[in-house]
């Protein structure tokens, strides 16, 4: 029987208070594992700015909410964080959520749940961050900002900040079931 033993960080609770520790833990992980591509969820850009600084020199893709996610026609990404992210050499992707898109509107208007939302709810069985890590990986792959032929690390959180990191073999949304969650690097135990 062959196996590899690796450490996983389990946070006592979900939330923003885990961001700094998570980013440091992931930095150590990617250095040991030789991973060069990091995808980070960031609504206002605060977490993205922190990640772009810590992972400077890596291929960092910060994925934001699409315009109109909260208020019609508006972006939640703050200009000061956007500037910092770009100055640190990271990329920003803003686009439609891979696991909701028009299906969210159908649920809101007609009260039905469609397949993408079922997938999202299933992924949330491991926490909101797990769902977001998968979603932002799909989005970054579809935009061509990360490779699909090697593992990446995806970082996301529950609400604000970051509390979850996964090693993922990416896929494009059209090949969703080829995406593989290969390792849990960190996640909250209580969510």
pLDDT tens-place string over residues 94-145? 998 888 877 778 888 888 888 888 899 999 999 999 999 999 999 999 999 9
Give a yes or no: residue 157 inside a domain: yes
Q: What is the pLDDT of residue 151?
A: 98
Give a yes or no: residue 27 inside a domain: yes
Give a yes or no: residue 161 inside a domain: yes
Give a yes or no: residue 3 inside a domain: no
Give a yes or no: residue 50 inside a domain: yes
Torsion sign, CA atoms 100, 103, 105, 109: negative
Is residue 124 a contact partner of residue 130, using CB atoms and an 8 Å limit? yes
Total domains, the chain? 1
Give a yes or no: residue 2 inside a domain: no
Identify the CATH number of the domain in which residue 106 sits: 3.40.1380.20
pLDDT tens for each residue of 14-71: 999 999 999 999 999 999 999 999 999 999 999 999 999 999 999 999 999 987 788 8
CA 56 to chain centre: 17
Angle at 65 between CA 124 and CA 131, to 5 degrees: 15
- Spatial distance between the Cα atoms of 140 and 163, rounded to a whole number of angstroms: 20
Q: Which pairs from 114-119 meet CB under 8 Å and 24+ separation?
A: 119/176
- Spatial distance between the Cα atoms of 113 and 136, rounded to a whole number of angstroms: 21
The domain of 167 spans 9-188
**What pTM does this model have?**
0.94
């Amino acid at each position: 029987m062959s196996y590899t033993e690796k450490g996983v960080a389990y946070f006592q609770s979900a939330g923003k208070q885990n961001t700094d520790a998570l980013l440091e833990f992931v930095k150590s992980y990617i250095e040991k594992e030789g991973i060069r591509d990091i995808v980070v969820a960031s609504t206002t850009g605060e977490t993205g700015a922190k990640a772009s600084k810590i992972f400077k020199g890596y291929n960092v893709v910060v994925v934001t909410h699409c315009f109109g996610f909260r208020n019609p026609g508006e972006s939640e990404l703050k200009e000061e964080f956007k500037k910092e992210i770009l100055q640190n050499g990271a990329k920003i992707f803003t686009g439609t959520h891979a696991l909701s898109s028009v299906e969210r509107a159908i649920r809101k208007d007609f009260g039905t749940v469609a397949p993408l939302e079922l997938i999202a709810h299933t992924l949330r069985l491991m926490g909101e961050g797990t769902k977001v890590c998968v979603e932002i990986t799909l989005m970054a792959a579809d935009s061509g900002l990360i490779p699909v032929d090697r593992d990446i690390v995806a970082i996301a959180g529950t609400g604000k900040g970051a509390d979850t990191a996964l090693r993922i073999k990416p896929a494009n949304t059209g090949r969703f079931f080829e995406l593989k969650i290969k390792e849990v690097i960190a996640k909250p135990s209580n969510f």
